């Protein structure tokens, strides 16, 4: 979450659709290149060296390629303008993509668990791995950690939940490569069970992260409200608008990474329609400058008669 002390202008730039699309495409293409090289290297080396953990890590990297293509697809369609069928725009395409990413991680994690348990049930089939597997695991660890830091910085720059999810997907890869490296070291030291055990741990990590992302995206699709921090900021923006005497029935829901706002503003009941309208417009402008807001619906109530509306 960006600091609440950032300038209004910076916040507005951060959610510029053209910038977001450009950053998403560039960072995802970097991820495609890295994951393509890693998946081939890890699976090939794991197969040749006899490392179950490295093969599992390679499959994880391969799943990242699919995740990257999902992000590219969402980036292309999520930036489309509103149309007759989608009058608020297509921002929720990003939320749907985040759900797919989470489910993908969950499926990959379950697959790793299944493979790891199968190996542990047959210890005699566990071979001693070759030292080359360790070098590849260390290279993968460094590459994935670097990719995570780069992607997260770009995601926070444009405040994209979908890109944040993909960045943490890369971090899960870095963590899995670390675990796999430890398992390979253990295998080389004579503890052969550690390699498939590493694959099992990686599966648990990936599955847990996938479940978390999927659940968050599902909540967004069910009109989850904005964060308490953002709601408080909205409240202050509206209350400090000249002419506003009170605010009630402030409601929010997420549309991708943007917020849809509904609010009732209490103003002097003696104002004419034009004056009330001007106050509403000023409130909308203040909110749009302060937060990544897609749409603001303002209802004007006379302060002396304003009552909260029933649900």
Domains of the chain, first to last:
8-221 (1.20.1510.10), 228-302 (3.30.70.1350)
b/e map of 244-254 (b: 16 or more CB within 10 Å)? bbebebeebeb
Do 250 and 238 meet the contact criterion of CB atoms below 8 Å apart? Answer: yes
* Strand boundaries in the chain, DSSP class E: 246-255, 258-267, 293-302
pLDDT band at 14 (very low <50, low <70, confident <90, very high): very low
User: By mean pLDDT, which of 141-145, 274-278, 301-305 is the weakest?
Assistant: 301-305
Residues 226 and 256: their CA atoms lie apart, in Å, by 11
Mean pLDDT of the chain: 78
Question: Is 80 exceeded by the pLDDT of residue 298?
Answer: yes
User: Residue for token digits 């997907």?
Assistant: 169
Higher pLDDT, 164 or 86: 164
Edge-to-edge order in the sheet of strand 258-267: 246-255, 258-267, 293-302
Residues 40 and 35: their CA atoms lie apart, in Å, by 8
Give me the mean pLDDT over the 69-75 stretch: 68
Give me the mean pLDDT over the 279-308 stretch: 83
Higher pLDDT, 3 or 72: 72
Question: Is 90 exceeded by the pLDDT of residue 35?
Answer: no
Give me the mean pLDDT over the 294-305 stretch: 84
pLDDT band at 242 (very low <50, low <70, confident <90, very high): very high
Angle at 163 between CA 159 and CA 165, to 5 degrees: 110
Dihedral, CA of residue 97, residue 99, residue 101 and residue 106, to nearest 10: -170
pTM over 0.85: no
Record the tokens describing residue 123, joined without a space. Answer: 């210890």
Residues 86 and 3: their CA atoms lie apart, in Å, by 32
């Amino acid at each position: 979450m960006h600091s609440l002390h950032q300038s209004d202008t910076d916040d507005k730039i951060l959610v510029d659709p053209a910038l977001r699309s450009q950053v998403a495409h560039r960072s995802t293409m970097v991820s495609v290149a890295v994951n393509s090289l890693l998946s081939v290297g890890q699976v090939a080396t794991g197969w040749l060296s006899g490392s179950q953990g490295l093969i599992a890590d390679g499959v994880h990297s391969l799943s990242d390629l699919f995740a990257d293509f999902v992000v590219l697809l969402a980036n292309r369609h999520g930036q489309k303008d509103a149309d007759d069928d989608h009058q608020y725009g297509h921002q929720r395409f990003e939320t749907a993509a985040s759900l797919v990413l989470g489910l993908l991680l969950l499926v990959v994690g379950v697959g790793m668990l299944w493979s790891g348990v199968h190996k542990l049930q047959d210890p005699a089939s566990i071979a001693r791995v070759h030292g080359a597997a360790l070098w590849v695991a260390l290279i993968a660890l460094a590459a994935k950690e670097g990719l995570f830091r780069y992607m997260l910085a770009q995601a926070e720059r444009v405040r994209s939940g979908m890109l944040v999810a993909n960045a943490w997907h890369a971090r899960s890869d870095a963590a899995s490569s670390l675990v796999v490296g430890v398992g390979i070291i253990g295998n080389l030291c004579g503890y052969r069970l550690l390699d498939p055990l590493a694959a099992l741990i990686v599966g648990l990590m990936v599955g847990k992260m996938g479940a978390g992302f999927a659940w968050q995206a599902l909540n967004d699709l069910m009109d989850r409200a904005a964060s308490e921090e953002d709601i408080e900021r909205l409240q202050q923006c509206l209350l400090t608008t000249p002419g506003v005497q009170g605010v009630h029935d402030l409601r929010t829901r997420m549309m991708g990474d943007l917020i849809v706002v509904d609010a009732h503003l209490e103003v002097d009941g003696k104002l004419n329609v034009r004056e009330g309208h001007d106050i509403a417009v000023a409130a909308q402008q203040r909110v749009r400058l302060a937060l990544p807001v897609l749409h603001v619906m303002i209802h004007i109530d006379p302060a002396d008669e304003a009552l909260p509306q029933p649900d």
